[in-house]
Structure 1
Amino acid sequence: MTSKKFFASLVARQIIWFVAITALIAGLYFVKFHGLAWEVLLLPIALMVIIAVDTFQPRHSIRRNYPLIGRMRYLFESVRPEFRQYFFEGELDGKPFNRRQRSIVYQRAKNEKQTVSFGMQDDPNRIGYEWAAHSVYPKKADESTFRITIGNTQCLQPYSASILNISAMSYGALSKTAVTSLNKGAKMGGFAHNTGEGGISDYHRQGGDLIWQIGTGYFGCRNQDGTFSNELFAERAAYPEVKMIELKLSQGAKPGHGGLLPAEKNTPEIAKIRNIEPYTTVHSPSAHTAFSNAIELLYFINQLRQLSNGKPVGFKICIGRQDEFVTIVEAMMETRIFPDFITVDGAEGGTGAAPMEFIDYMGMALSDALVFVSATLRQYGIREQIKILAAGKVISAFDMAKALALGADACYSARGMMFSLGCIQALQCDSGKCPVGIATQDKALYKGIDITDKSVRVANFHKNTMKALAEFIGACGFENPKEITPGVFYRRTSGNSNQSFAELYFKEKETNSKKEMSNF
């Protein structure tokens, strides 16, 4: 009974020390009396050192209470994403993109089999399931015609854009081999490549059309004090590959949040591209310094248009406070300055790094935002002046068709294009250790990207997605993306009820219009 009480009173730390000391004593005994080589003591001594370090370190209580063994928690935690993805994840599991979504990009990028066998794996009876109504009179759509002209009457150099383009990703966030592959792929496929707010690098200038994004840091077009530089902007906007200018107001994954470029990442190469001092910490403020209200925003857009010799200029926004967007539209009416396009970034959009509160709880979802923006522009009678680009978790032809039905004219894809490069959704974009060399500046990692092969995959993904879109909308009875209507898309809203997108998003507006006509 005494021995039982003694062992019951021991805590895990004491038991681990007891076992380790016993092992060391046993090793000493066999070395001294049985002639074993002294090297056998290395293991118990090493374990004793680790146990001692864990016991007396102050930062991790689990290692203090469970020396040596407690370290296994951190090991298992570090490999948890890989184990989940490779051993436990189902076809429709995985966040933010499930295995089926990732697989279709891989297959299209590699020009491999793009079909699924045996039947659907999703549950069509679950609440939230979305689907499209096909027609008994399908049409044949031609994907080669899936282009739009961006540029209103105030634009001197309209641009013919594909309805699927590479979304904003900066050099610095992505590696030089990744950016080069994307741009070469854009050239092959005849679609545009958004530079991201990090400026135009040589890796962006590989022949593909560019959409130059200007953020709050004004990288590539800033004075030494961080303010906007007319001269530098005009110089770079004159590059022949720069087809459009996109002013970034906010980003879906972190709207209202600025950024920070640490001094150690601010290499001479990055500094030259961004027109900043190397090896200094550079802040991207949460708000622009070139304007502070809607009227000034429109005048700044007009300034960019003039400095770029009439190239299409627009802005990117994640909808938050709806009254602020309405104010911007009212400013358009007052100044008679109309942007050529508006990029609507949904809250589900991606980023390399952002606070959890911003990623999960800030901003409006893409579907709601598209409907709101398009309806607001129509309400003020200027929808035809302004093209709407949709961004936010666009991967498949269904995603594109859905966005087009809700008001978009064209789409962006960022993570889809990353998957075409070989991204495995390791969720390490902010670590600098991206295992496939996409989101890293580690030469040992980014050298793993074969530009010749990956650029072809980017072009293939675009081509095969356009082909899939043509087949999809053709089955719904449309010959052109412009014909897609919200009435053919449905969402299950209860156990025995489906509602069309027309009912979900436009019914109230239609009712109000009928009331107005009745009153008239």
Structure 2
Amino acid sequence: MENILEFLGNIPWWGWTLLVLVIVALYDLFQKKHTILRNFPIVGHFRYLLESIGPELRQYIVANNREELPFNRIERGWIYASAKNENNYEGFGSDRNFYEPNYVFINNAMLPFKVAQDHPNRKDPYFLPCAKVMGAGRRKKPYRPASVINVSAMSFGSLSARAIESLNRGCHQAHAYHNTGEGGLSPYHKKGGDVVFHFGTGYFGVRDDHGKFSMDKMVALVRENPQVRAIEVKLSQGAKPGKGGVLPGSKITAEIASIRHVPIGKDVLSPPTHSAFEGVDGLINFVEAIADATGLPVGIKAAIGKLSDWEELAKKMAATEKGPDFITVDGGEGGTGAAPPSFADHVALPWVFGFSDVYQIFKRHNLCERTVFIGSGKLGFPARASMAFAMGVDCINVAREAMMAVGCIQAQVCHNNTCPSGVATQSKWRQRGINIEDKARRTHYYFKNFRKELLEMTHACGYEHPCQFTMEDVEFSLGDKNLVQPLSASFGYNKVPVSFQGVASLLACNHLGGNYIPADAEKEVQKAMDKDEVRY
């Protein structure tokens, strides 16, 4: 035995290396799972290694600043800088190709809007509430969002607890609302921010023991959580419209089971369609029943494809004066969770096409003034938001942009539970890197700096509020001999003017008559100002 140990101890390092390579080569030659390894022993492993780190190589080394999708490096850099309250400018002019098709041009005015000394934006350059009120004149508890940019539907389960809590605390500081997503109202949604309660076909959080919608649970949820300001019924989403899903029992912890009202350890099905209603008439009656029971505005969210049901919905809403108070149009390019590529790439229209189709239908039926339109689909940048407002939106919701504000690096592994930044994973180890206080502050800064830049663009175009943008204020580069055309020519309609009496009027009636900055939030903002952390 001693001789064997002595012999092994005398083997040089290169001998051990050669032995390991021989073992690997023999394994590669005789295994039958991977053709490349069998044909090219040892060397084939380098191919798989390079493939595994390919996304990182392209993201940080190979791709240029404007090349990546869904968000390029310049876009991500602007979000990160805004969220950190750092310099989000760029130097030496634009590196964009102004002559590419679908390039957006915003027409500035010869004389910009002049902000008077007593104007609310002189004191607060971030003050930008929605110009419309959800459920105005129709519901017991109408709601005017205090911010035109808010957090879109992302549930606890798809995002981590720390990410959800960071977003909600940031929404509280920035006076934005936080859409719960369809995973139910978790404790992490109850950190001060306004909440829009969202549910889909699984009715998580408001379901009975048989998986059916429970009005009693909905009423109790609203009664016990006054921060819930509106309710949104999901008909479909941009990532996978018309497709259900399965929540594996292995992923259902005691906490998730309690929040979603589902059994522990059993697979839970979210079917493609709703069981609580049938057809357009059923949808209208369902919306009215929830609104009557809770007193809150009720809206719907959908990705857009066929238009016949939308035509029927608008026709019946006009005839009965019933139906949704707000409509969230989700772009087919969206999606923070997992989806089959066939759905993500091909099912449902991109936002600009889907929204324009639905808006024109509602305009024909004179429903635009009473309906609050919300856009969702890569609109979390001031120029894109300006275009969206020109087309008719009243608010925008952001999902992936908000994820980046709390640390997402676009690793695109949301579906694997291996998110390296801890944002889209339930791994406790990966979540521990999220500093909730810091990420909440970054969410707050992203929203505030976004609103400030959107306001500056609005003023540059001669307007006081983005709701005043028209289809003539934004132009598309169409390519070929069409050159550049305004949105009105490209999409064949003009938006309905929004009733607007000035930003000062929004200050007076914001948040159902309350103050713009709640007392507790005002103290937080003042502390940050004292530390020179807020650019007032």
TM-score, normalization by structure 2: 0.86
Partner residue, 1:52: 26
Equivalent in 470, 475, 500 of residue 486 of structure 2? 500
Cα 1:50–1:144 change in 2 (3 A) is: same
2:106 equivalent to 1:121 = no
Q: Please give the residue correspondences for 1:310-349 in structure 2 after superposition, counting only pairs within 5 Å.
A: 310-349=295-334
**Contact 1:338-1:385 at 8 Å conserved across structures:** no
Instruction: Report what 2:143 is aligned to.
Output: 159
Q: Superposition pairs for residues 244-263 of structure 1, below 5 Å?
A: 244-263=230-249
The CA RMSD measured in Å over matched residues stands at 1.9
Match of 2:261 among 245, 250, 275: 275
Paired position in structure 2 for 1:8:
none
- Distance in 1 between residues matched to 2:235 and 2:262, nearest whole Å: 21
Larger radius of gyration: 1
CA positional deviation for 1:478: 1.2
Divergent runs of 4+, >6 A: none
Whether the 8 Å contact between 1:340 and 1:387 is mirrored in structure 2 is yes
Q: Secondary structure of the equivalent of 1:320? A: coil
- After superposition, the Cα gap between the structure-2 partners of 1:145 and 1:41, relative to the gap in structure 1 and judged at 3 Å, is closer
SS at match of 2:369: helix
Select between 51-60 and 263-272 the one with higher mean Cα deviation.
51-60
Q: Secondary structure at the match of 1:46?
A: helix
1:345, 1:366 within 8 Å by CA — same for their partners in 2?
A: yes
Measured in 2, the distance between the counterparts of 1:473 and 1:303 equals: 39
Tell me what 1:301 maps to.
287
Shift of 1:132: 0.8
Instruction: Report the equivalent of 1:146.
Output: 129
CA offset at residue 480 of structure 1? 1.2
**3-state SS of 1:212 partner:** strand
Cα deviation 1:444-477 (Å, max 9, x = unaligned): 1101000010000000000000000011111111
Determine if the alignment matches structure 1 residue 399 to structure 2 residue 373.
Answer: no
1:131 is displaced (CA, Å) by: 1.2
Deviation per CA, 1:475-507: give whole Å up to 9, x if none: 111111121011111111124611111110126
**Alpha-carbon deviation of 1:335?**
4.0
8 A contact 2:336–2:399 mirrored in 1: no
CA distance in 2 between partners of 1:508 and 1:378 (Å): 9
2:114 and 2:429 mapped to 1: Cα distance? 47
Give 2:412's match in structure 1, choosing from 427, 430, 435: 427
| Corresponding letter in the other structure for 2:62 | F
- Paired residue for 1:110, among 84, 92, 99? 84
Of residues 491-500 and 283-292 in structure 1, the stretch that sits farther from structure 2 once superposed is 491-500
1:135 aligns to 2:92 (yes or no): no
> What is the rounded CA distance, in whole Å, between the counterparts of 2:87 and 2:128 in structure 1?
25
What secondary structure sits across from 2:357 in the alignment?
helix
Q: Structure 1: which 5+ residue stretches go unaligned? A: 1-30, 511-520
Counterpart of 1:80 in structure 2 is 54
1:438 aligns with 2:423: yes
Please show how residues 161-240 of structure 1 align to structure 2 within 5 Å.
161=145, 162-238=147-223, 239-240=225-226
Secondary structure of the residue aligned to 1:217 is coil
1:39 to partner: Cα distance: 6.5
Q: Deviations over 1:333-381 (max 9, x none)?
A: 3443121100000111122110001100010121122222222112112
Over 3 Å counting, the alpha-carbon distance change for 1:92 and 1:58 in structure 2 is same
Match of 1:377 among 358, 362, 369: 362
The answer for unaligned runs of 5 or more in structure 2 is 1-5, 116-120, 497-536
Which residue identity lines up with residue 127 of structure 2 in the other structure? Answer: S
> Is 1:370–1:403's contact at 8 Å kept on the other side of the alignment?
no
Task: With the length of structure 1 as denominator, give the TM-score of the two structures.
Answer: 0.89
Amino-acid identity (%): 37
User: Which deviations, in whole Å up to 9, do the C-alpha atoms of 1:220-262 show, x marking residues without a partner?
Assistant: 0111211111211111122111011000000011111111111
Aligned counterparts of 2:14 and 2:220: Cα–Cα separation in 1: 70
Deviations 1:285-323 (A, max 9, x none): 111111120000111111111221x10100001111111
Task: Measure the CA separation in 2 of the matches of 1:219 and 1:35.
Answer: 63
- Structure 2 vs 1, CA of residues 509 and 38 (structure 1 numbering), >3 Å: closer, same or farther? closer
- Specify the SS of the correspondent of 1:315: strand
